[in-house]
Amino acid sequence: MQHQSVSFTLLKMNNTEREVDIVVKVINAGIWTITTLLVLLLNAVCLIILPKVKGIHESTKVFLTCMTIGDFNLGVFYYLPMIGVAIAGGAWPFGAFCYVQALVIRQGLLMNMSSAVLITFDRYTAVVHPLRYVSLVTGWRAKIISFSIAALTTLYAFSFLLLELNHTQFNPILQICLIGENNLTTYLLTFTSGILMFVVLIAMYIKILKIASKHAVRIAAQQNPIAEKPLTPSRRSFTTIFIITSLLMIGYIPFSIISIMVSANIQPPWIIVNMTKVLLASVSWLNVMIYYVRNKEVRKTTQSFLQNIRQYCSCHE
């Protein structure tokens, strides 16, 4: 009788664990589904909207488009498979597609960081050298630079794959596909690069503030004393890029720290690992929201685009 009671208790505990496991899988899959849909939908709309937006310099559009394409690719090849991984309970269910995800993670994350640097430098040049900006940073040069960065980051990713003799594996702790067995050096490099990029960004932004303050003093001295307040040069576009890049660092740094810990054989809690990955993925759709909120022309073009879609749908009902 006692044996039957113990067996019943164990069976009940097993059933409870299975139910909890199912709930965790459903919640995790739901989070990744929502995140991935936001990334894919908003970046797809952004790719359609950006060429139509007026009031944004051609080079800025090129760099923004480059970052948006990078975010969309990460959505397809990195974040979308995470839904299947969540449903599978942390296992990789897509076979040889692991090679593709490993390459995209290695290339796409670096490409996004490079795009952020290019966008920041573009806005910095526009503010610090306004008279030479149009001739220095042309749309054609921006396209060449973007293509070169894309080619170099792709070559970088493939070189790692060749050096590792086509060896990719699914990391059960990070729950992503990686090139090679020990990625500690790569993670440390990514982390250091991110910190340096953020330091450079802060330095540029401080210089922008100093220049704007000097301009404000000069304008105030030349203005009519009757004027209510002095006009100050707009820093809105650079501030927008500052917010985007800061957000990028907020997403990348925690993920890099967790990756370094895993490479050093330190196993953080699963929930922390997943939170850092979702935070990183969320950067890819929050970028688009920042464009929309901070740029009047983007809002107008987006609203016009959505209005055209509604009219088209109404005509075909």
Confidence of residue 254 (pLDDT cuts 50, 70, 90): confident
Q: What is the pLDDT of residues 206-248, one digit of tens each?
A: 777 777 667 656 655 665 544 444 444 456 666 777 777 778 7
pLDDT for position 304:
85
Judge contact between 204 and 183, C-beta under 8 A: no
Tens-place pLDDT, residues 42-69? 999 999 998 888 878 888 889 989 989 9
Do residues 311 and 296 lie in contact, with contact meaning Cβ atoms separated by under 8 Å? no
Distance CA 249, CA 66 (A): 18
Is the pLDDT reported for residue 163 higher than 60? Answer: yes
Work out the average pLDDT over 182-206: 73
Reported pTM: 0.82
Averaged pLDDT for residues 286-299: 84
**Given this model, what pLDDT does residue 38 score?**
95
